[in-house]
């Protein structure tokens, strides 16, 4: 019969600390990002959550910027990249854009990091880049057209994710208040002044964000369709 360790043996009460790994650091950082937001994320805060010191983290991650890059790449890893199909390239392109945005908005602030500070080059970012370019090429675009479309779509998806995040966090209230003030100001102008801007004001809000994004992506893809020389492509 196996007996428990007696209490006077100090080793019996000390839990074995799991070895620190890069994956564990990234997992912890993403958890903190979901709960506390990007502004609260620091190497020290991640170290605290792991019950260790910041110096331990630097053995696996160079600095906060590298940690954010690793986090962004992990986020992209949650999105499937379809195999390019010339008969369905438009649907695939839209699916990929929506998947990327959904993943980025699930982790508030991560889009801002990649938008402002770096060109993502992690394995998942490269997989997404290669996949999107393959879809664009399958749609009949030239190499240059595919490159520019890839760049434009990437920028727009990140910018949209930043906007959605701002509506969801504390700054959303500030944006709503600023919108209210702008509407009051516009309405106070003499009749006939800026009629088009006044008319479209109510169309810009958190409630219309998804519809606006879908309209932009659909319009962009429709424009790409006009760039293809072969009428058979993308039917």
Q: List pLDDT tens digits, range 160-208.
A: 998 888 776 655 566 667 777 887 888 888 888 888 888 888 888 778 8
| Contacts of residue 81, Cβ cutoff 8 Å, sequence gap at least 6 | 96, 127, 128, 131, 132
In the prediction, which pLDDT does 232 show?
A: 41
Domain 22-169+205-227 has CATH 3.40.50.1000: no
Contact 124, 86 (CB under 8 A): no
Per the structure block, which two tokens stand in for 109?
């602030």
In the prediction, which pLDDT does 82 show?
A: 94
In the prediction, which pLDDT does 108 show?
A: 80
In the prediction, which pLDDT does 202 show?
A: 82
Q: List pLDDT tens digits, range 50-104.
A: 999 989 999 999 999 899 999 999 999 999 999 999 999 999 999 999 999 999 9
Closest among 156, 114, 115, 152 to 133, alpha carbons compared: 152
SS3 letters across 170-181: CHHHHHHHHHHH
Please compute Rg for the chain using Cα positions: 24
Task: Tell me how far apart the alpha carbons of residues 79 and 95 are, in angstroms, rounded to a whole number.
Answer: 10
Q: List pLDDT tens digits, range 109-159.
A: 888 877 766 677 889 999 999 999 999 999 999 999 999 999 999 999 999
Closest among 41, 40, 50 to 71, alpha carbons compared: 41
Residue 104 gets the label, from left (phi > 0), alpha (psi -120 to 50) or beta, of alpha
Q: List pLDDT tens digits, range 7-50.
A: 666 555 555 566 899 999 999 999 998 888 888 889 999 999 99
Closest among 103, 219, 100, 210 to 163, alpha carbons compared: 210
In the prediction, which pLDDT does 162 show?
A: 87
* Residues recorded for the chain: 235
């Amino acid at each position: 019969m196996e007996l428990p360790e007696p209490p006077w043996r100090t080793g019996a009460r000390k839990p074995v600390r799991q070895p620190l790994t890069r994956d564990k650091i990234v997992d912890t950082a993403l958890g903190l990002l979901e709960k506390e937001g990007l502004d609260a994320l620091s190497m020290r805060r991640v170290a605290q959550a792991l019950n260790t010191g910041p110096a331990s983290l630097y053995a696996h991650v160079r600095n906060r910027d590298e940690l954010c890059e690793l986090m962004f790449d992990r986020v992209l890893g949650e999105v499937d990249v379809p195999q390019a199909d010339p008969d369905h390239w438009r649907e695939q392109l839209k699916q990929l854009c929506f998947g990327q945005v959904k993943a980025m908005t699930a982790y508030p602030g991560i889009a801002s990091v990649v938008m402002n500070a770096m060109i993502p080059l992690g394995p998942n970012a490269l997989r997404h880049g290669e996949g999107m370019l393959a879809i664009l090429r399958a749609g009949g675009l030239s190499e240059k057209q595919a490159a520019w479309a890839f760049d434009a779509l990437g920028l727009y998806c990140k910018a949209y994710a930043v906007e959605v995040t701002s509506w969801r966090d504390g700054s959303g209230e500030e944006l709503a208040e600023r919108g209210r003030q702008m509407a009051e100001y516009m309405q106070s102008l003499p009749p006939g002044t800026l009629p088009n801007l006044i008319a479209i004001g109510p169309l810009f809000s958190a409630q219309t964000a998804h519809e606006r994004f879908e309209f932009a992506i659909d319009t962009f893809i429709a424009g790409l369709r006009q760039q293809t020389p072969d009428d058979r492509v993308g039917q």
